[in-house]
Chain A
């Protein structure tokens, strides 16, 4: 593990932002059926050449049903001394229901890995009244990640987990024994950074609480997206485009209470020429116009494809002129999202349909069993 210093390991040369190209893959069974990581690993391995071995990772939902009400913290440590200090901090901040080392096995290409532990925690009683549980957990994680230079919390949601590191994704999968886990939603990422040395924490997915983002692209509007988010208290310390996407999603969905379909119209809005053709005074025209007027600084401009996931939901989205690939496929209850169609067909030869979504058109998969979830109001937007 490269030493994580306060000088920002994500961005050792102090670049404006970290540039990376990638392969991404997502697979969700909307019936809630859980399946192992074997297929997802084969699929992302099929896109081996889109990465360069400097980062691979997976996000899995539904893997810890026995601890479903606890925040599952995945923490990587450079040394055992740090682990002792961090654990003291955890005991002070949380109630730790269960802790164990994340089981690994030696794998090809995985050199000098960190020690990875997981902690299932809930909040103790000493909680200031004006913060939500989520806010407080975020605060504590930020505190650990900035205070302890040899530790990194890289996963913090409930009943989900992120596994990532330096290596090709298939090697990371082998290392973390992902064939032994079962989840209903998997995302995967193979990374091709152009300028950073590999660092375990720097691989995708990027996550905060149960939100994960895997991303292929370079967001040319990064400078203004970041400055806009700073006004709302988000500090993009890692200088990655992906971080901007994660915070933007958090702002629009969690804090501004917008449905994903509408957030997608902020990130990849229709052209004015299309909005102008809508009927004058129509609700859709008013909505799209207002979104562009208010959230112009959150337009994610430049080439990108992202797969965003959180509990019960997976969303694929490209920039509005689709400068990076995204293929969607379905069979039965299963939704696939991938950089390349071949990766889907490898694990599902009898795919029912496969298509390239239009630029800026979100592809959303939702758990059918989830009665609690608010459903998006605008049905005409592509919802699987």
Chain B
């Protein structure tokens, strides 16, 4: 085989004074970068295979390793940048679609970083969450416009369709078993139970060993229908129809056959080793009335005991689409933005299709209000939520809750090296390789996830208190607590936010 013309992206630096040839790095690297040369009794590296996941750096007992960017300089060119050149080299060598993992890494504006929050000074008191109650509880689902009371008895006459309580307005995004290991699924499930939130199966079904976490599980029904059967629907707290995802709007999910192990195959109800490729559209949904049929088929199948969410990628017409989804009977609309991540996506699609979640969220919330149907569904915002401030800003823009995917995986070890699609994750997360999956210990990983949600909750409470409110619902859709910095008039108008200082 012709040697690739691609230069190495990273250089592995090993301090010979520190290295003790223990070969931990050799065993830890999922990408076969490190190897032991017995002849010279020395550990060496194949730099060209390094993805900078830092597993070796973290586990080297003598801190002998570091990873540097390859400083190899091209002639300066704003048009033909190194990434562009290297993509062409790859395609010239393979003739294939460029694949990648994680979310869009391009420099599109991150609107969260152009929104700032309010705080109370003098005219109203800030509330101290260390001394006063501060409420984050959120309910997802459909509400009527009014409550009816029996005047004779004082009792409630209205009964609500099922709502899902969240103790923290952060859920774990859809990540399928197969894309990630069973241990990761279990960690997410256990953390969701402990933190009072939901994890989401993604489109790969739910392993039977995790049915016990059903009350904290959202099960997805995607175009491939992998692992969808009545028991799967029955154990769930909520059902989500996946129409699209932010990382790859317009196309279906991809799970390479290499990751389809025996257990994955059983859970997905497909033959072992076969590629699990979800069709781009649902083959029974070609318009909004078809979506309505699927929503009600799922509600019928579960006897109207569970809310149904519909997840779409944020695209140009999100507001009108969301309105249709709500009218079609969905109880929750989940919108996944341009920076939403994935286990595997065509790079061109990940990096160029869809719109920033902040703009989509603002326009969807506003549209549903203008049409007077905002009560009929909750809005869940996904794709690129990085910290508690992003959560607070999303809620102020109009989200009922958010999904986090990448942030959750980072909490259990991910270093965002964008190699999920290879199935060789050194951290044992996006792999089904038996040797690697053991690296995630659900006891430890679940605790780290719970810690993350706890930390964010504390921060959210501090920010809420600063704004002078003691319940999250008083911030929800309350855009007066946001101001924009460095935004154009049009951006401010779409976000429904005023310029800082005005």
Interface residues of chain A, those whose CB is within 8 Å of chain B, are 14, 16-17, 19, 21, 194, 217-218, 220-224, 227-228, 230-232, 255-259, 262, 271-273, 283, 286-287, 290-297, 299, 301-303, 320-321, 323, 374, 376-378
Closest to B127 in A: A321
Given contacts A262-B149, A271-B135, A377-B150, 13 further A-B contacts (CB under 8 A): A220-B474, A221-B474, A223-B481, A259-B151, A283-B156, A296-B471, A302-B468, A303-B124, A320-B470, A321-B132, A321-B133, A323-B125, A377-B152
Tell me if A271 and B133 are in contact (CB < 8 A).
yes
Would you give the shortest CB distance from A296 to chain B, in whole angstroms? 4
Assess the A377–B153 pair: CB atoms within 8 A: yes
Residues of B within 8 A of A376 (CB): 154
Question: 6 shortest A-B CB distances, which residue pairs?
Answer: A377-B154, A223-B480, A301-B474, A221-B474, A223-B478, A296-B473
From residue 124 to 138 of chain B, which have CB atoms closer than 8 A to chain A?
A: 124-125, 127, 132-133, 135, 137
Stretch at the interface among B254-262, B367-375, B417-425: B367-375
In contact, B467 and A374 (Cβ under 8 angstroms): no
For A231, list chain B residues within 8 Å (CB).
369, 372, 374-375
- B154 close to A378 (CB less than 8 A): yes
Q: Which residues of B contact A292 (CB under 8 A)?
A: 473
Interface residues on B, range: 35 or more
Residues of B within 8 A of A303 (CB): 124-125, 468
A234 to B156, CA, bound (A): 26
Given contacts A224-B478, A231-B374, A323-B125, contact A287 B151 (CB under 8 A): no
- B133: chain A residues within 8 A (beta carbon): 271, 273, 321
Chain A residue nearest to B480 in the complex (CB): A223
- Least Cβ–Cβ distance between A273 and chain B, in angstroms: 7
| Interface contact B147-A220, CB-CB below 8 Å | no
What is the chain A residue whose CB lies nearest that of B498? Answer: A16
Max chain B Cβ within 10 angstroms of own Cβ: one of A16, A220, A256, A287: A220
**Contact B479–A299 (Cβ < 8 Å):** no
**What are 12 A-to-B residue pairs whose CB atoms are below 8 Å?**
A218-B123, A220-B469, A221-B469, A221-B478, A223-B477, A224-B473, A231-B375, A287-B149, A293-B139, A293-B163, A321-B132, A377-B154
* A221 / chain B contacts, CB cutoff of 8 Å: 469, 474-475, 478
B120 in the interface (beta carbon within 8 A): yes
Flag if A286 contacts B156 (CB, 8 Å). Answer: yes
Instruction: Tell me the interface secondary structure of chain B in the complex.
Output: loop
Q: Chain A nearest CB: distance from B475 CB in Å?
A: 7
Residues of chain A contacted by B158 (CB below 8 angstroms)? 290, 294
Structural contact, A230 and B369, CB atoms closer than 8 A: yes
Q: B374 to nearest A CB, angstroms?
A: 6
Give the complex CA separation of A347 and B192 in angstroms: 59
* Interchain CB contact under 8 A, B147 and A258: yes
Q: Closest CB-CB distance, A125 to chain B, in whole Å? A: 33
Query: Which of chain A's residues has its CB closest to B146's CB?
Result: A256
Q: A293-B139, A302-B468, A377-B152 are known contacts. Are A224 and B475 too (CB-CB below 8 A)?
A: yes
B139 to chain A, nearest CB (A): 5
**In the assembled complex, which residues on chain B have CB atoms less than 8 Å from the CB atom of A377?**
149-154
Q: How far is the CA of A377 from the CA of B152 in the complex (A)?
A: 6
What is the minimal beta-carbon distance from B150 to any residue of chain A, in angstroms? 7
CB pair A301–B480 under 8 Å, yes or no, is: no
Q: Which B residues touch A295, using CB under 8 A?
A: 147
B119 CB → nearest A CB, Å: 10
Q: Are A287 and B155 within 8 A (Cβ)?
A: yes
The answer to whether A294 touches B144, judged by C-beta atoms less than 8 angstroms apart, is: yes
- In the complex, the chain A residue whose C-beta lies closest to that of B124 is A218
* In the complex, residue of chain B having the shortest beta-carbon distance to the beta carbon of A376: B154
Residue of A nearest to B400 (CB): A296
Whether the Cβ atoms of B123 and A296 lie closer than 8 Å is: no
In the complex, which of the residues A273, A287, A374 contacts B156, with contact meaning CB atoms closer than 8 Å?
A287
B474: chain A residues at CB < 8 Å are 220-221, 224, 299, 301-302
- Say whether B151 contacts A374, CB under 8 Å: yes
Task: Assess whether A259 is in contact with B149, with CB atoms less than 8 Å apart.
Answer: yes
Contacting pair B468 A290 (CB below 8 A): no
Contact call B476/A296, Cβ cutoff below 8 A: yes
Q: Is B311 engaged at the interface, CB distance under 8 Å to the other chain?
A: no
Q: When the two chains form their complex, are residues B477 and A291 in contact, meaning their CB atoms are under 8 A apart?
A: no
CB contacts (< 8 Å) of A286 on chain B: these are: 156
**Measured CA separation A272–B137 after assembly (Å):** 8
* Interface flag for B160 (CB, 8 Å): yes
A294 to B123, CA, bound (A): 30
Residues of the B chain whose Cβ atoms lie less than 8 Å from the Cβ of A262 = 149
Task: Give the residue among B123, B125, B374 with the most A Cβ atoms within 10 A.
Answer: B123
CB pair B477 A224 closer than 8 Å:
yes
Q: Is B287 an interface residue (CB 8 A)?
A: no
Contact, CB under 8 Å: B149 / A258: yes
* Interface pair B476/A220, CB less than 8 Å apart: no
A255: chain B residues at CB < 8 Å are: 146
Complexed CA–CA distance, A323 and B467 (Å): 14
Pick the contact of A16: B135, B146, B467, B480 (CB < 8 A): B480
Verify if B502 is at the interface (C-beta below 8 Å from A): yes
Q: Are A222 and B154 in contact (CB under 8 A)?
A: no
Q: Nearest Cβ in chain B — how far from A256, in angstroms?
A: 4
